[in-house]
Homo-oligomer: A and B are copies of this chain.
């Protein structure tokens, strides 16, 4: 399997850096090929702006991004990431949880790389009026694994923890970005209490990463509902007979996944 590992921590010597190296070594020893986008080391430009989109100043931003993608005039750094994603069968996204989301440099990887025509706004050639998203699209068939380090202890990111249940806090990334673009999204993996890791927790975290990486090609993805499989009506609202009377982000799991991270 070809695996792209996207890494977004400024310190190579951090726990995050050690866990990345553990994961990459485990993948290599299992015979997989790996490539790394180490965003801080690459000095990745975080901010999507008009400079990325060529000369389309009369267009809206999304129209300009579609045109620049179609014309091949996106910046070379963006096109290089497209090549890596196209090469990959699976993508690992590793980051410290900052304010319950991605560091800006990684959010900016999505803002700049997941342009219109590539990761959204993709229509079905057989049915031009229908947009392919949420389980379908240009990136369908690829797998995604999100690996975070969090200062929080595990109960506080659990089902009734004050910080919110991890997979629901990460819903904009797991569902709204990766699944939206068509990828099969594995349950996220978290190392908790990451700023208070002693030798014992360190070894446990490394073992957890090795184990989850070993399942990258076979673990069951999150059971998100597909947009075009019949669960949603024409307004993209969940049909009333499914999870009747319920609301909240977890109605978008078929069968009511409860958010365990392992």
Q: Which residues of A contact B (CB under 8 A)?
A: 10-11, 14, 40, 44, 46-50, 60-62, 96, 98-105, 107-108, 110-111, 114, 134, 151, 153, 155-156, 158-165, 168-169, 171-173, 175-177, 180, 195, 225, 227, 232, 235-238, 243, 246-252, 258-259
Contact = CB atoms under 8 A, between A and B. Distances in A.
Contact of A155 (B111, B134, B237): B237
Contacts of A176: 99-101, 163-164, 169
Given A101-B172, A168-B171, 8 more contacts: A14-B60, A40-B47, A108-B108, A161-B236, A164-B176, A168-B248, A247-B250, A247-B259
A46 B164 contact: no
A162 B238 contact: yes
B195 A160 contact: no
Number of chain copies forming the complex: 2
A224 to B, nearest CB: 10
Given A114-B99, A158-B237, A252-B162, A105 B46 contact: yes
Contact of A108 (B104, B134, B162): B104
A44 B108 CA distance: 13
A124 to B, nearest CB: 17
Nearest to A155: B235
B107 A104 contact: yes
Contacts of A10: 48-50, 61
Contacts of A98: 48, 110-111
A111 to B, nearest CB: 5
Contacts of A227: 162
Contacts of A238: 160-162
A49 B227 CA distance: 39
Contacts of A103: 47-48, 107, 111
